[in-house]
Amino acid sequence: MSKFNFTKTILKNLFSKPVTLMYPFKKREFFERTRGHVKIAINECIFCGICEKKCPCNAIVVKKPEKEWEINRLRCIQCNSCVENCPKKCLDMGKEYSNPTVGPNTDNYHA
């Protein structure tokens, strides 16, 4: 009986489309509510520091005198807390994921 089940599985897989995508050639379409990584419109930011205070993993550092905004991508857990609490709505959660890295991944933005 097990040989019959196995043959049925082979025939089913032989005549069906592949489940996976050919990655470099065909990119994946992300869902509407996918949380990729935090983006900032640095020209709209007022450097109030609320995003830094609301971040549960301390991934964001705001330096108001230098007008600098910094995020550690490896610490960020994509919780969307900083985006929801930004008073100017200059933060956005992008759908695409950040590129994989081996070392520290910190992005600095200056106004």
Domain ranges of the chain: 32-110
Calculate the alpha carbon distances from 40 to 49, 72, 96 in Å: 13, 13, 14
**Per-residue pLDDT tens over the stretch 44-78:** 999 999 999 999 999 999 999 999 999 998 899 99
The pLDDT score that the predictor gives to residue 2 is 65
SS3 4: helix
Averaged pLDDT score across all residues of the chain:
88
* CATH code, 32-110: 3.30.70.3270
Higher pLDDT, 83 or 22: 83
Average pLDDT score over residue span 24-28:
79
pTM for the model stands at: 0.72
- Range from 35-49, 76-90, 94-108 carrying the lowest mean pLDDT: 94-108
